[in-house]
Structure 1
Amino acid sequence: MPPPHPPKPVGVRYPPGSTNLPATTIEVFLDFCCPFSAKMWPTLKALQAADAGVQFVVQLVPQPWHPQSAVLHEVGLSIRELFGDAAFFDYCDLIFLNCQSDFFDDKTMDKSRSQLYEDLASRSFPSDGERKAALLAFLGLKGEGNSGSKATQLVKWAVKYHRLARSVHVTPTVFLNGLEAGDVGSGWTVEQWTEKLDNL
């Protein structure tokens, strides 16, 4: 039997007296290149649509054993930075529901970083040349050497959070109200999630 979880998030809510916050916070750590993250994604969407009184927080974990994963995350975080949360979740749907396997090792081994950026930008904004151009410009190198792009710091923050604040190594990893829920699996159904949440 897994350890118990707190019935509400650990800590004190601010501002005092807030009543419109959900009872349960579910923090999910996902990798755009992880097939198990993709397996969990539709269930999370269905659970959120069911209005189960939960707040989801999506955290990103680019796994270094898939070099192209960093590129996938750079693009996703850049889209959020440039175009907002809704566009970011559209990108999540694009990758997890439509084309993730196109970016697996066997399909990307001989592709350059620039080719991956171009492919992802074209898929993200197939009929919006302005957004595509803005995204590719954001992903362009800032200077010589290892200067990175404007996306580099965004990836560093995501990696620092999952490494230091949460010690997350594999994906997907789930935290309920601030504590890891090691029993939650990528193949869980909405019914299994609902039972887990009802027990809180």
Structure 2
Amino acid sequence: MRSDYANSKPRKPRQRGKSKASKPAAAPVTPHKVSPLKLVVGLAVVVAFFYALWFLKHDDTEAVSSNGTEQKVVEVKVPTTSSKPKDALPPKPKEEWTYQKELENKQVEVDVPEKANQPTRPYQMQCGSFRKDSQAQELKAVIAFQGLEAQVRKVNGSSGDWYKVILGPYDHKRQAERDRHTLQRAGVNGCMIWFWQS
């Protein structure tokens, strides 16, 4: 018996083991519909773009003469015949100052503090007091390296002789304070400012 292979349907191959579930068929793709509003807005944008290009090309300030050359049209504003505008400001008033005449012969009284409140004696600055003259001379040398001149004064006290290193006299206390800051930067501390004692 002969079988007709030409008209027979092909057979699916047999799968061994468990049969796998067939995949679901993909949903058909539907074309996306464009809303009429979007269509109108897009068309308006395109029309506006082309109108702007045409407007820039054919500017109102340019005109074409009969011979084909471009001419510039200039607008000239002619002032109105009225001499004063409606909202014009009034003329600026003249400034009149009287204090200049009043101060020409004016006398001013100033209270000057009396010199009695100011110290009459100059100032001195003492930077050390030693039992030995050699120690006082060493400090005097350190002060001399800072560009300042000091003197060693021997004083007889109740506890014996003392050698004091003194700078001055200074007319103003501010001068003594300036020298004290200079010595502090050099490492010489403990300088005290007093009235000058001879």
The TM-score, its normalising length taken from structure 1, stands at: 0.19
Of Structure 1 and Structure 2, the greater strand share is in 2
Taking CA–CA contacts closer than 8 Å with sequence separation of 6 or more, which of the two structures ends up with the larger relative contact order? 1
The TM-score, its normalising length taken from structure 2, stands at: 0.19
